[in-house]
A and B are shown apart, each in its own frame.
Chain A
Amino acid sequence: MLGYSRQPVISLRGVCFEYAHGGFSLNVGELTVASGTRAAAIGPSGSGKTTLLNLISGIERPGSGEVSTAGVRVDRLSSAGRRSFRITTIGFVFQEFLLLEYLDVLDNILYPYRLHPELHLNASVRSRARQLASDLGLAELLARRPSELSQGERQRVAIARALVTAPSLILADEPTGNLDPATKQQALDLLFEQCEARSTTLLMVTHDHGLLDQFAQIVDLETLRPAEA
């Protein structure tokens, strides 16, 4: 897509993180992901892929180093600041979808707006959510509960939820891990399409090396070095 900024949306420098209980540590020398990039993070189990996402989103704070997301030094923010930043700037797509069974599709999409005072749920947001749902082929399913949907439909709801706040960055943690091959590609195509349409940067954790050729940037946690596709 033309016109989008190529400024880094994700920038890590000399980051060291270790869990309080010990046993695992993550060190990142340098990592940048430019705005609008479609990036994949790969690595064996336990290599720190989810930890990396947590550092980028501010869920975790590094012991040392710099973490900059969408131009904000996340490592310098307070807990409240990081939460506020996260909910307004970042959208999450989880492997298990993590939709709420007691909310219908529309309410699941609008869920982030109910979690933080920074986000105000109003008519235009609802309208945007409906449009997003329509774009993702969910227009007829808004009143359904997640248990009434197929896997693919649930993933699309999760994608819509991630996009509803118009985030700068989507962090997807194995979003297609529970989908069958046909649905997987369909979901990916939708995710790519929506991110590209909104100039949203995507960093997706995946185990599936067969998908890597669809990404512009691969972050290999084993080498901790970005490898150009």
Chain B
Amino acid sequence: MRDSIYLAWRYLRHHRTKTLLLVLSLSVFLGLPLIMRAMSRATQQSLLSRAEATPLLLGKKGSSLDLVVEALYFQLKGAEPITKADVDGLQAMDLALGIPIRTGLMARGFPLVGTSLDYFPFRKLRMTEGRGLAMMGECILGAEAAEALGLGPGDALLTSPSTLFDLAGVYPLKLHVVGILEPSFGPDDEAVFVDLRTAWVAEGMGHGHQDLSSAGPDVVLKRKEGTVTANAKLIQYNEITEANIESFHFHGDPSSYPVSAAIVVPHDEKSGVLLRGRFVDAETRQLVRPAQVVDSLNKQIFRFERILEIVVWTVGLATAVMFVLVMVLSWRLRAEELRTMTRLGCSRWKAAQIMGSEIALMVGASVLIAGVFGIVMAQYGETWLQTLILRGS
């Protein structure tokens, strides 16, 4: 047996390209279900872990999945917003901490997320460079966003207009990068975080302009008893700076301004129960448990995964058939070698043993590669795949 393995090994080593290709294709065939299962688990775990880390979510009545996806994963789903008054009202109940989340705009391809300071300790986010938000007009970048954009503290970043061809729409707002977050292997890595009010300014709900009380006649249309009407020449600022920050203001009552959702962190279990009770019959608001929503989503993924497995096994079978075909053709080409072996005195069984050893070595190598890959995936796969999923999302 040793001699058969030796001859098989020498043959495979000599034809290393062919051997490598066959081994790799077999490894893929064996490893694909492992990768798929690991990916599925990583995806589900990635979704679930973020959802489980969020006790409750307050939003407008409607699709709970859209609410969760938008508030937790910053994917725009067009869910109807609630208002700042909802968040303030929640705080006033003194049962939970309410963390507002405002999504809707992008900044160079990355979601702009308006929130409060409470968001960062809640998500256990830490700065790796620079500092946290201190003033309106500033932004903090997630690790992936910073790397992709090549930005750091001191740089500037423009928000993207909400619609490209809306000439009467909101101008981009120039944000000042003040900090970069450490990687957290979640949606936060790809977000641009701003103060909630900055998000509102970026959406055009607040603005800053030159002082009308001292504005020249080229800007003022008319002045009449304490009312000044300005024309289009009035300079509106597209950047919040130390010099003009006090000119920024909001029209109307800011408590009526939109908030996509509020993360609700009950003070304790009893408070959480009381809160859920208060929203059970709410007509226009819903208080959802993200973990429950994502769990039902994962069940759907699980069903799809089963179908995918059938496809993978079919592909695997085709790979196996191709492998056998390659081996058979290879042996045909080695007919003279087989004849020589026979003439020298080798039995058919021994010849089969040698050929079989080649297959066994290749299959063994594939199993080993797939096995090592599986072990590594089991240890690190979740992290890698979460990053991959995050980059691909």
A/B: CB atoms within 8 Å of each other: yes
| Contact of A115 (CB < 8 Å), options: B13, B15, B336, B350 | B350
CB distance from A66 to the nearest CB of B (A): 21
B13 to A, closest residue via Cβ: A102
Closest-by-CB residue of B relative to A120 is: B3
Among B4, B15, B350, max chain A CB count under 10 A is at B350
Which residue among B13, B14, B343, B347 has the maximum number of chain A CB atoms within 10 Å of its CB?
B343
Nearest Cβ on chain B to A150's Cβ, whole angstroms: 21
Which bucket holds chain B's interface residue count?
20 to 34
When C-beta atoms are compared, the residue in chain B nearest to A99 turns out to be B340
Residue of B nearest to A121 (CB): B3
Shortest CB distance B327–A (Å)? 16
Contact pattern, A 96-134, Cβ under 8 Å of B = 1, otherwise 0: 001011110001000111111000010000000000000
Q: Is A84 an interface residue (CB 8 A)?
A: yes
Cα A201 to Cα B344 with chains together (Å):
17
Q: Which of A64-96 contact B (CB under 8 A)?
A: 79-80, 83-88, 90, 92, 94
- Interface residue? B299 (CB, 8 A): no
Interchain CB contact under 8 A, B343 and A59: yes
Q: How far is the CA of A80 from the CA of B350 in the complex (A)?
A: 11
Does B11 interact with chain A (Cβ within 8 Å)?
A: yes
A92/B10 in contact, CB under 8 A: no
Q: How far is the CB of A18 from chain B (nearest CB, A)?
A: 20
Of the residues A101, A102, A115, contact of B346 by C-beta under 8 Å: A115
A49 to B347, CA, bound (A): 24
**Chain A interface residues toward B at CB < 8 A:** 57, 59, 79-80, 83-88, 90, 92, 94, 98, 100-103, 107, 111-116, 121
Q: A59-B343, A85-B345 are in contact. List 20 more A-B contacts (CB 8 A).
A: A84-B345, A86-B343, A86-B344, A92-B343, A92-B344, A98-B336, A98-B337, A98-B340, A101-B14, A103-B7, A103-B10, A107-B10, A112-B344, A112-B345, A114-B4, A115-B346, A116-B345, A116-B346, A116-B347, A121-B3
22 contacts between A and B (CB under 8 A): A57-B343, A83-B345, A83-B346, A85-B345, A86-B343, A86-B345, A87-B346, A88-B345, A92-B344, A94-B340, A102-B13, A107-B10, A112-B344, A114-B3, A114-B4, A114-B7, A115-B3, A116-B345, A116-B346, A116-B347, A116-B350, A121-B3
